Amino acid sequence: MLSTLELYHRLVNGIGRFTKETGKDGAIVGISGGIDSAVVTCLAIDALGKEKVHGLLMPGPLSTVHSLTDGIAICEANEIEHKVIPIDSVYSKILRELSPLFEHSHHNAAEEEKIQSRIRAIFLMYYAGQKNVVALNTINKSELAMDYGTIYGDLAGDLMVIGDIFKTRVYELAGFINRDIERIPWHTIRKEPSADLAPEQTGSCTIPPFPVLDPMLEDLTEHGRSAEEVTGTGANPECIRIVTERISHMEHTVLQCPPVLAVSERPLLPQNKCLYFT
């Protein structure tokens, strides 16, 4: 396994080479105020320079105040250009337009959550096209394995930067980035992860906490161990059942993802979508 320093250099080099080889002028990151987008933003700055990295903050109807303030704090601490575009009115308009189609159908809250994510993807990709920059995806490997993302929403973009890195390693990278100065607010690092798509939503609402989840995922996806073998190591059988069930639903999703910076021996994406920059 790569050290945190090696991982950092591999990702920074990957962003820089991908951007250069695609002929783009910089990068855009959808900044949520969470740790994933904060880490990707800092990696992009170190790869391209702060003048070539743009931040787009898109608060929605269920975004918390700290999501916006933490996102702005990341942009200001790293001195990058950023814009705030609320999506509330667009989201409400889409729901109104769609309601006649499903007037007598069962209400599907999960699909409405995905609309918020897809609106953000539209804004992000439009900005990327206008500025001739790459849109950097911020989904991590833990969430990807759990099928915890929206196709053509937060799984969109030109390049998955941390899609081959488990969440616990994202925290390690955040600490490394903050080794000399607080570039990522400590509140962002310490707070409970949330997609801000549903009331009081946190990452642990639907999947085990990442310190519990990631060792299971590493055993199952990188070491090729069976559910029975992982259970034999002392892991909770019910957690294993939930995790393996979600992994089984992942295959369709990863086929829709952009290419990933591959840093492990077994990325989740197909080989033709794995980019190896050393």
Summarize pLDDT for 117-143 with one digit per residue, the tens.
999 999 999 999 999 999 999 999 999
pLDDT score at 199: 54
Q: Residue 139: name the closest of 113, 112, 157, 124 by CA.
A: 157
Amino acid in the structure at residue 208: P
End-to-end CA distance of the chain: 14
Q: Is the pLDDT of residue 161 over 60?
A: yes
DSSP state string for 34-93: SHHHHHHHHHHHHHH-GGGEEEEE---TT--HHHHHHHHHHHHHHT-EEEE---HHHHHH
Mean pLDDT, residues 58-82 = 93
CA 137 to chain centre: 6
Give the helix ranges, DSSP H, for the chain.
4-21, 35-48, 65-78, 88-98, 109-131, 141-145, 167-177, 186-190, 210-217, 227-231, 237-248, 250-254
Q: Taking a C-beta distance cutoff of 8 angstroms, is the pair 7, 169 a contact?
A: yes
Mean pLDDT of the residues in the chain:
91
Q: Taking a C-beta distance cutoff of 8 angstroms, is the pair 107, 8 a contact?
A: no
DSSP 8-state symbol, 206: T
Confidence of residue 202 (pLDDT cuts 50, 70, 90): very low
Q: Taking a C-beta distance cutoff of 8 angstroms, is the pair 270, 254 a contact?
A: yes
Amino acid in the structure at residue 184: I
Q: Percent of the chain, pLDDT > 70?
A: 94
Q: Residue 90: name the closest of 71, 108, 117 by CA.
A: 117
Spell out the residues 6+ positions from residue 151 whose beta carbon is closer than 8 angstroms to its own.
Answer: 253, 256
CA dist., res. 264 & res. 195, Å (int):
26
pLDDT score at 242: 87
Confidence of residue 201 (pLDDT cuts 50, 70, 90): very low
Spell out the residues 6+ positions from residue 239 whose beta carbon is closer than 8 angstroms to its own.
Answer: 208, 212, 213, 216
- Structural domains of the chain ordered from first start: 4-206+249-275 (3.40.50.620)
Type and span of the H or E element at 30: strand 27-30
